[in-house]
Amino acid sequence: MTFEQLKLIPPILKALAKENYRQPTPIQEQAIPPVLAGRDLFGCAQTGTGKTAAFLLPIIQLLSAQQGRPSGKRVIRSLILTPTRELAIQISDNFKSYGRFLNLRSAVILGGVSQKAQEQALEQGMDILIATPGRLIDLMNQGFADLRHVQILVLDEADRMLDMGFIHDMRRIIAKLPAKRQTLFFSATMPPEITSLVDSLLTNPMKIEITPVSSTAERIKQTLYFVDKPNKLPLLIDLLQDKSIESALVFTRTKHGADRLVRGLTKATITAQAIHGDKSQNARQAALNNFKQGVTRMLVATDIAARGIDIEELSHVINYNLPNIPETYVHRIGRTGRAGLSGIAISFCEYEEIPYLKDIEKLIKQKIPVIGDHPYPMTINESTPTTVREIRTSVTSSEDCITRGHRGGATPNDSAGRKGTFGGSGRRSRRRS
């Protein structure tokens, strides 16, 4: 299948060629024709599958082909709602690339920056509005955003918008749209809440599921380290002595944890910056640019801040804290192994996170291979909870327990998990500087 066979118009094909897009991904191949035909669409696909182009390309074509657009200033004909600022900016950048040879205009509405420029953009008019729900609600309440002419609504990463508590904002926004419209709905996971929302918003939608909801990217090599909480930072520093880890996106559960980790890494002369909700949009964008340009080796992020981050050829994702929502694990590791490239996902697990690990492995339907030989194995003693000891026993006897080798996992090792430690030989190697 080629983009030409999808019946995209020459200006879009020219833009795709300039971006070195050679052939459509599965979701693009399956989504573009029904969207061009005007159908509602529900796409269940993980990050890195090319879903942004799957909805942007047909929207650009549909809007550019319309005749009889109201005279005067442009009106908002397509609204794209996203959960985070970073994702909104990324979609805007993609629109500029795909629509560079067409006379369409877009604007981005997001929080964390002054709304003055956004007010001016709305007053001037645009064809496509890309927005986060909170700031859009603010501008609607002030009379700046007129959604009466919206023909195509996109809800991108809808599951994350629900997780972030945007459901009421989403419903308030949708209530202001014309009842007759085309709705495109994308989600990386499909919990019952998503199914219910789809049923209420979409009419006879085309349903596309590119990968099983619980699956993780096939090209991502996953590994797991059992480690006591105080030893997570020393273990991370030890792993980063491996120069093949040129850069990594590191996930923490909290904003304070992200800042604390950055301080620890910086003290160890490892360049790192954090992005989270307490950072201004300019600070977050600067940190992301530094990471992309190689100025910063480690980008430490919370889940919310990382949504929408698009980093080409990201080789490593590190879960410094396991997420308490198993679907979030799928979102996190999906930042690597994108666009046909391979990737490595490294996870740390402390005692309190073992229930999270069980939930994750249940969701992805596989055991994450354990690195059994490392300098900071989890301590086991008489006071260790029974459930932990049971897991230790299963790990010790499991083929999933592997030696560290190339830091991301190597060969099976039956000697790991000896008495006194969990997932290791009990040794403490000399720290390298």
One-character DSSP codes across 20-56: T--S--HHHHHHHHHHHTT--EEEE--TTSSHHHHHH
DSSP at 336: S
Determine the average pLDDT of the residues in 104-127.
Answer: 93
Domain assignment of residue 343, yes or no: yes
Q: Are residues 171 and 41 in the same domain?
A: yes
**Residue 401 pLDDT:** 47
Q: Is residue 6 within 8 Å of 61, Cβ to Cβ?
A: no
Of 233-237, 274-278, 406-410, give the lowest mean pLDDT range.
406-410
Question: What is the identity of the amino acid at 220?
Answer: I
Domain assignment of residue 365, yes or no: yes
Q: What are phi and psi of 404, to 5 degrees?
A: -65, -45
Of 9-18, 115-124, 319-328, give the lowest mean pLDDT range.
319-328
Q: Are residues 299 and 183 in the same domain?
A: no
Look at the chain and report how many structural domains it folds into: 2
Query: Rounded distance, CA 222 to CA 101, Å?
Result: 41
Domain assignment of residue 215, yes or no: no
Q: Are residues 122 and 155 in the same domain?
A: yes
Q: Tell me the C-alpha to C-alpha distance, in Å, between residue 318 and each of 66, 90, 122, 222, 300.
A: 46, 22, 40, 10, 9
Joined tokens for residue 246? 């040129």
Query: Rounded distance, CA 345 to CA 310, Å?
Result: 16
Domain assignment of residue 89, yes or no: yes
Give the pLDDT confidence of 242-279 residue by residue, as tens digits.
988 999 999 999 999 999 999 999 999 999 999 988 88
Q: Is the pLDDT of residue 417 over 50?
A: no
Domain assignment of residue 430, yes or no: no
**Residue 335 pLDDT:** 82
Q: Are residues 311 and 348 in the same domain?
A: yes
Q: Are residues 229 and 200 in the same domain?
A: no
Beta bridge partners of 81: 131, 155
According to DSSP, the β-strands at 128-131 and 401-402 are unpaired
**Residue 381 pLDDT:** 61
pLDDT band at 280 (very low <50, low <70, confident <90, very high): confident
Query: Rounded distance, CA 5 to CA 13, Å?
Result: 11
Please give the mean pLDDT across all residues of the chain.
84
pLDDT band at 186 (very low <50, low <70, confident <90, very high): very high
Residue numbers of the domain that contains 199 = 4-209
Q: Are residues 54 and 195 in the same domain?
A: yes
Q: Are residues 121 and 193 in the same domain?
A: yes
Domain boundary among 147, 178, 209: 209
Query: Rounded distance, CA 90 to CA 173, Å?
Result: 22
Per DSSP, the three-state class of 177 is coil
Determine the average pLDDT of the residues in 403-431.
Answer: 39
Q: Are residues 118 and 228 in the same domain?
A: no
Q: Are residues 295 and 323 in the same domain?
A: yes
Domain assignment of residue 360, yes or no: yes
Q: Are residues 298 and 160 in the same domain?
A: no
**Residue 428 pLDDT:** 36
CB atoms within 10 A of CB 179: 6
Name the nearest CA neighbour of 205 among 36, 41, 59, 43. Answer: 41
Per DSSP, the three-state class of 106 is strand
Burial class (CB in 10 A: 0-12, 13-18, 19+), 237: middle
pLDDT band at 382 (very low <50, low <70, confident <90, very high): low
Q: Are residues 232 and 309 in the same domain?
A: yes
Determine the average pLDDT of the residues in 141-160.
Answer: 94
pLDDT band at 49 (very low <50, low <70, confident <90, very high): confident
Query: Rounded distance, CA 362 to CA 222, Å?
Result: 15
CATH number at residue 96: 3.40.50.300
pLDDT band at 318 (very low <50, low <70, confident <90, very high): very high
Per DSSP, the three-state class of 158 is helix
Q: Are residues 242 and 195 in the same domain?
A: no
Of 11-20, 123-132, 308-317, 367-376, give the lowest mean pLDDT range.
308-317
pLDDT band at 398 (very low <50, low <70, confident <90, very high): very low
Helix, strand and coil percent figures for the chain, each rounded to 5 = 40, 15, 45
Domain assignment of residue 433, yes or no: no
**Residue 195 pLDDT:** 87
Q: Is the pLDDT of residue 179 over 90?
A: yes
Joined tokens for residue 109? 């509405």
Domain assignment of residue 429, yes or no: no
| pLDDT: which is higher, 402 or 205 | 205
Of 173-177, 317-321, 372-376, 389-393, give the lowest mean pLDDT range.
389-393
Per DSSP, the three-state class of 151 is coil
Sign of dihedral through CA atoms 324, 326, 328, 329? positive
Query: Rounded distance, CA 87 to CA 64, Å?
Result: 24
Residue found under tokens 């619980």: 214
Query: Rounded distance, CA 41 to CA 185, Å?
Result: 6
- What percentage of the chain reaches a pLDDT higher than 90? 57
Determine the average pLDDT of the residues in 75-83.
Answer: 96
| pLDDT: which is higher, 165 or 173 | 173
DSSP at 361: H
